[in-house]
A = this chain, B = another copy of it.
Amino acid sequence: MRVYKIDHIGVAVTSIAEALPLYQALGLAETHREEVPSQGARTSFLPAGESSIELLEPITPDSPVGKFLAKRGPGIHHLCFGVNDIDAALADLAARGYRLVHRQAVAGAGGKRVAFLHPEAGGGVLIELAEKGRP
């Protein structure tokens, strides 16, 4: 169940179009956009080495990202670790008493199986786990 990399950093933004220029100035390039209904968000991915920056723009104000923006303003929303076996990881964390938002993996961006831990489990950090995509 070991984490083998940081899969991506989710950044809440009010507008992907307005957020992109800084990351482009840093030399990153957008490779694709996708709507993720489970997060109520439009996402833009910018690879950085083996990880990516995932810009998250809310589709509706009452989506999780929309609520985050209303409460805290734009900024880092979550941290996603890549794991090889998400089912084993979730079972192990639950057995250790960590609160999970998803006790079973759900469908995330890029066809990956993902799950969020409860922010309380992460000491104020919203942590997502993502399993390698299966072709």
Chain A residues proximal to chain B, CB less than 8 Å: 1-6, 9, 11-13, 18-19, 22, 25-28, 48-51, 73-76, 79, 81-83, 89, 92-93, 96, 98, 121-125
Contact = CB atoms under 8 A, between A and B. Distances in A.
Nearest to A2: B27
Q: Is the interface of A mostly helix, strand, loop or mixed?
A: mixed
Given A22-B121, A51-B51, 10 more contacts: A2-B27, A3-B27, A3-B48, A5-B51, A9-B9, A25-B96, A26-B89, A48-B81, A49-B50, A76-B76
Identical chains in the assembly: 2
Nearest to A92: B25
A74 B127 CA distance: 13
B75 A124 contact: yes
A122 B3 contact: no
A105 to B, nearest CB: 15
Contacts of A13: 123
Contacts of A83: 26
